[in-house]
Structure 1
């Protein structure tokens, strides 16, 4: 129930911040960056909470797909915005997804999470598998829809992005991140994902959040996206360690990567907010009082 209440409060505040900004005449690029940056982090946490509530740990492939598809879907939405200049809104979007997840948490709180292990008569499949498959299908539908828009070209010169860069360039950091995650999932000698799924998802989720924030910054500022970023350093070291047959214990290295990625994200957000505030001559989390009419 705590998870459901947390998502409800977050979803409510997320819907109200824009209205409050317009009401106080404080709409700016910092607010957009902060809003979408928080959404990028919450996508990771909400995905982990969802698979925990559904007790999907006995199905590692489904758990992996559910968590990472959520990250990719959110990234593709902003990739779409970077190309077209407009963030897409679908009939079944963020709000509907959050309401569905809240209902799942409420059912788990009232009836107990083991209710999802009940098998559906005649087809002999647990409810949690059906729920995850439905969530996966919805995410894939939204992702494919965004990719189709991307394939059509952007609003820049000769079908480029709004920053007049290649429409395919944002795919590189996310592709590398997914490549490393899939490689570790399949070839880790200690079954790192199977034994520590939450740590695995959160570690790569921090890196995914950082590159998503970079994409949002590129969209807001209409500038080229940073493709080689410190967010990819941890996954790169994990890949090198795996290639040389785990010179360092991969669990300890994953812990170090999670700590570094978390610090890197927080430092980057703080630095970016300070730069935006200095450039625009505004204060973060502060609304200047309106001057009295002459």
Structure 2
């Protein structure tokens, strides 16, 4: 990567201002802690790194892994659009293999960057940005494999909780300047998702309807997933609460620590309004996965905006274009059927496409802008 004074440094217009780009060049990756499974998996990842060609760009590894998961999510949504069907065993096995591929390639990209001497802030941003998108896609796959379409409110909760945990982890990094990994973290969550896929592949989706406790007739095996999500995220929530509540505490931007919370709160309130409209009209029961994606895509962009704010040591704006999409979804579902003559499915598809395009265009513009400023290429080794 060129030095800050390199003549190849070039500013082009985009979402970031030049001050943010200058600060980005000063960013150093800072993380602490290792999860239990990560310690076990590291020897395997080091061995697999030897199989990666030296000419392979680290970001290309990350994007390839995301493409695997996106393909499994697309197939799941195509064959099980309302998460109430029994997904084919081959598809569940493919989803498990795709997730393992993503996990492996995501672990190798940083090692490949150091191995080839191409480590840069763009690589870290690209990695975490893909993680934000993968959180939504993976949660949709898990919810379909576990038959959450029977309880669509829990499907929304699962996706919202997973994205909130992801956001909270980076909010804590925004406050402290360092990402903190716990004993139970991303690697364990991905392993649990693989277990869900394998269970459905060999036992069928009906296994998630079983009652694990005779004295609790309302409890189903699938309920263990949201319960375990809440329990596993409790330590992170406690650390974040202490960080935000510390008197006089400042973020990496030198400002207060509540800024990311306001951005997430604004999105959450609008998403709750859209979810309420979907529940009251029955649209959530008829189109659970479609509406979950429409609400999850704006959250992906908000997570990416926080990651950029952390790496550029700048504040995150509360207002953003992504807030328009849940608002449109709420209005479209509530009155679109008689005001605009649109069906719930048409509203859901329209908002989903618009929100995904907004996120993709934003990500592409940021990557192009940073690559030009650093004098590097996004998917190739210069």
TM-score w.r.t. structure 1 length?
A: 0.89
Q: Matched residues in 2 for 1:33 and 1:120: separation?
A: 42
Which of residues 284, 294, 313 in structure 2 aligns to 1:222? 313
Matches within 5 A, 1:1-294: 1-123=93-215, 124=217, 125-152=219-246, 158-188=248-278, 189-241=280-332, 247-248=339-340, 249=342, 250-288=344-382
Structure 1 pair 4/206, CA: closer, same or farther in 2 (3 Å)?
same
> How many angstroms does 1:103 deviate by?
1.0
Cα distance in 1 between the residues matched to 2:334 and 2:222: 35
Change (3 A) 1:217 1:131: closer
RMSD: 2.0
Q: Residues 99 and 190 of structure 2 are in contact (CA less than 8 Å); yes or no, is this contact kept in structure 1?
A: yes
Contact 1:43 / 1:71 at 8 angstroms: preserved in 2? yes
Query: Which stretch shows the higher mean deviation, 202-211 or 181-190?
Result: 181-190
* Residue pair 2:263, 2:319 contacting (<8 A) in 1 also: yes
Deviation at 1:230, TM superposition (A): 1.3
Q: What do residues 196-234 of structure 1 show as CA deviations (whole Å, max 9, x unaligned)?
A: 111111111110011111111111111222322111111
User: Structure 2, unaligned stretches of length 5 or more?
Assistant: 1-92
Distance 1:161 1:98 in 2: 30
Residue pair 1:185, 1:192 contacting (<8 A) in 2 also: no
In the alignment, structure 1 segments of 5+ residues that lack a partner are 289-294
**Contact between 1:207 and 1:261, CA under 8 Å: does it hold in 2?**
yes
**C-alpha contact (below 8 Å) 2:174/2:251 kept by paired residues:** yes
Looking at structure 2, the residues matched to 127 and 35 of structure 1 have their Cα atoms a distance apart, in angstroms, of 33
CA-CA distance at 1:132 after TM superposition: 3.3
Per the TM alignment, residue 172 of structure 1 is displaced from its structure 2 partner at its CA by 2.0
Q: 1:292 — aligned with what?
A: none
Q: Distance in 1 between matches of 2:127 and 2:221?
A: 34
| Distance in 1 (alpha carbons) for counterparts of 2:363 and 2:214 | 51
Q: Deviations over 1:23-61 (max 9, x none)?
A: 112111111110000000000011111111111222233
How far the C-alpha of 1:267 sits from its partner, in A, is 0.9
TM-score normalised by the chain length of structure 2: 0.70
8 A Cα contact 1:78 1:215, kept in partner: yes
Q: d(CA) in 2 for partners of 1:141 and 1:186?
A: 30
